Structure 1
Amino acid sequence: MQSQLILATMRHIVTEDANIKAKNPQWQTLVPAGLSGKTIGLIGLGRLGSQTARIAKAFNMKVIAWSPNLTEERASEAGVGFASTKAELLQQSDVVSLHIVLSERTRHIITASDLALLKRQAYLINSSRGPLIDESALLAVLKAKAIAGAGLDVYDQEPLPLNHPLRELDNVTLSPHNGYVNDSSYKDFWEQTVDNIVSFLDGQPKRKIV
């Protein structure tokens, strides 16, 4: 999901789709951002972060990573560059992508001060958990056009309220927390649920925890 959100945001796919369907006479209203040669900074290098790293490399992007627990050795094993500090990653990255678990330690791991370190042409992508980012600070940055844009699949409050100011911005791509699900995963969820019900009725242990 994260890589898809990166592409949709940087290529302005949603905006251009809406312009064409609205029969806007202006063709190609925005200039898409390329990925080749750009630096993507991953906050978190677990399973999903590593997957995003591999996809980013396929687009010829330079990949760097940081997290509170990440070591240089682990980054090297994953074949990515190691940022020794969060500030270093934010200042160097053209795209910042979050792949970290939400906890009291990581809540608002991206603050107003952190957002101020981003390049003006940078994009911030989050499909992990909404509270990882100070949402009010991000709103202010987006309204001021202080960064190029953001792609969000998660929010402080879900579903996103109808009157939420994020809905009014033209430099943010919004998705309704679809990152964890697709047609195959829904099929797995339901099959596992049915298996567990049958096991329960038969007096057997649950086969899988859904």
Structure 2
Amino acid sequence: MKALVADAINEKGIENLKEIAEVVVDTSISPEELLETVGEYDAIIVRSRTKLPAEVIEKADKLKIIARAGVGVDNIDVNAATQKGIMVVNAPESTSITVAEHTMGLILSTIRKIAIADKSTKAGKWEKKAFMGMELRNKTLGVIGMGRIGSQVVNRCKAFEMDAIAYDPYLPPEVAKNMGVELYENIEDVLTRADVITIHVPLTPETEHSISTEQFKLMKDTALIFNCARGGIIDEDALYDALVSGEILGAGLDVYEEEPAKDNKLFQLDNIVCTPHIAASTKEAQRDAAIIVANEVITLFKGKMPKNIINMPRMHNSEFKETNNYLELCEKLGSFISQSASSPIKKLEITYKGEIAKLPNRELFTRTILQGILNPITETVVNAVNATTVAKFRGISITEAVSEDSEGYETLIKVSAKTKDGEMSADGTYLHEPKIIKINGYWVDVKPEGNMFIAKYKDIPGSIGAIGTKFGQQNINIGIMQVGRDSTGGEAIMILTLDEPATKESVEEIKSLDNVYDASSLIL
């Protein structure tokens, strides 16, 4: 076996890998050199420098596994790897402690004014009265997103004798109780009550600018807010105004709407501590990431299954060809349902119909559906291996069924999600590409791809025009429209493919229309 280490990783990972494979370390390999030599390797380990686009993966005829020594896989064409039958793994757990500790560093630096005190002291000043701070003890921590990192921040703040409250609609109350956290159903309640607010959610159309002008108005004027998750969750213009006006006391950021952030007006302020996206950058995290991915490669080379698989377990070529199209459909269906549901999913029912019902490996399809459902709502990457565990932790119950009746199609997959607000279902098939052919029982013909919008409305004259007008006012062009209905004058459903994402403002305006029952935007 031959492995390429294309980016700098901790030496311990390389040492482990050498026990089972011939290892080539070339951390300056160019895209042209990689394209020429990729066919020699059974495994490639990268971080963020090396890019693995489809054209490189296409030439990787021996490659069995790509390992990313970190969390994100934006530099890897995962779809191309999947089509080639190449496993993609990462090291999601390697940074949890590191990011949690960095969050604590920002909190302490801000509440005790350490950063500006350091600058002042080194300038030869002695301004003790200017740097009066506050204690964390008896303060209330508000956590937005109680995943792996958010829970680690809670553990550390408990040691400072802080109370903890949280907003996470996908966290079961009994889990929150075991963590010693008071769970709230509305984010507004957390923002109103918390002294220190920390954000640990993914960046999605729902979370983008979810902390903006209205949210800052809810916070205490002594509140502090921190973001080590993703840039864009906090509206930076609104944050600037809140800090300048004294609406809140301070903030700390490690991530920004535009990176690298070299010309950001927030940097002019003394009541914010800013770092250059380094929350995950520690020697320990890099060491752990290197060891984790090296062990994943070793596990595969020994004929066993790695645990941090981004795309799917490796299959024989014949099995892969038979199931690959269905896997793509499953992930699209899951993501569509997740983003369309108006509230957290509590129960999931999956029905396999037709030829797919005869395949022996349906568990992989279910896991892939869960992967599509969970990735838009969790901060850390969900894969085919951990999907069922994450779903259970989030309180989602899953049932499966099979049926011979595929309603005229060779294969049909129905995913039905039950929430506190009702039920959302989508039926899909594969006709040269993934297709959604039913939504909530209404016949449609939808390609689940790109910027999409879905609305439930009353089927009367003017309803469709009113929705289109709202998008026109926002200068958002509609590319494709699909509608379905049960009867004239009854409930109908509209699915749009847009040239650019629907803004939160346009979605809210459409939801407020008299004859619209619900609406949401999706990115697939």
Report the TM-score, using the length of structure 1 for normalisation. Answer: 0.88
Q: For residue 83 of structure 1, what is the aligned residue in structure 2?
A: 184
**Alpha carbons 1:43, 1:67 under 8 Å: kept:** yes
**Alpha carbons 2:236, 2:257 under 8 Å: kept:** yes
Deviation at 1:136, TM superposition (A): 1.2
**Alpha carbons 2:144, 2:168 under 8 Å: kept:** yes
Q: For residue 177 of structure 1, what is the aligned residue in structure 2?
A: 277
Q: Is there any run of 5+ residues in structure 2 with no aligned partner, and where? A: 1-101, 311-524
**1:121-148 deviations in Å (ceiling 9; x for gaps):** 0000111111111111111111212111
Q: For residue 260 of structure 2, what is the aligned residue in structure 1?
A: 159
Q: Which moved more, 1:189-198 or 1:96-105?
A: 189-198
In the alignment, does 2:180 pair up with 1:52? no
**Alpha carbons 2:207, 2:233 under 8 Å: kept:** yes
Q: Which moved more, 1:148-157 or 1:106-115?
A: 106-115
| 2-structure distance, mates of 1:189, 1:74 | 28
| 1-structure distance, mates of 2:127, 2:158 | 34
Bigger strand share: 2
Report the TM-score, using the length of structure 2 for normalisation. Answer: 0.37
Amino acid of the residue matched to residue 29 of structure 1? A
**Alpha carbons 2:146, 2:166 under 8 Å: kept:** yes
Higher RCO (CA-CA < 8 Å; seq separation 6+): 1
Q: How many residues align?
A: 208
Q: For residue 116 of structure 2, what is the aligned residue in structure 1?
A: 15
In the alignment, does 2:208 pair up with 1:107? yes
Equivalent in 127, 136, 142 of residue 35 of structure 1: 136
Q: Is there any run of 5+ residues in structure 1 with no aligned partner, and where? A: none
**Alpha carbons 2:168, 2:183 under 8 Å: kept:** no
**1:86-119 deviations in Å (ceiling 9; x for gaps):** 1110110101110112222221221211111000
| 1-structure distance, mates of 2:129, 2:123 | 13
**Alpha carbons 2:138, 2:162 under 8 Å: kept:** yes
Give the 3-state SS of the residue equivalent to 1:69 in structure 2.
coil
Q: For residue 450 of structure 2, what is the aligned residue in structure 1?
A: none
In the alignment, does 2:101 pair up with 1:3? no
Percent of paired sites with the same residue: 34
Deviation at 1:205, TM superposition (A): 10
**Alpha carbons 1:97, 1:124 under 8 Å: kept:** yes
**Alpha carbons 1:16, 1:28 under 8 Å: kept:** no
Deviation at 1:198, TM superposition (A): 10
How large is the Cα RMSD of the aligned pairs?
2.6
| 2-structure distance, mates of 1:49, 1:195 | 27
| 2-structure distance, mates of 1:191, 1:56 | 29
Larger Rg: 2
Deviation at 1:28, TM superposition (A): 4.4
Distance 1:166 1:205, change over 3 A: farther
Distance 1:41 1:198, change over 3 A: closer
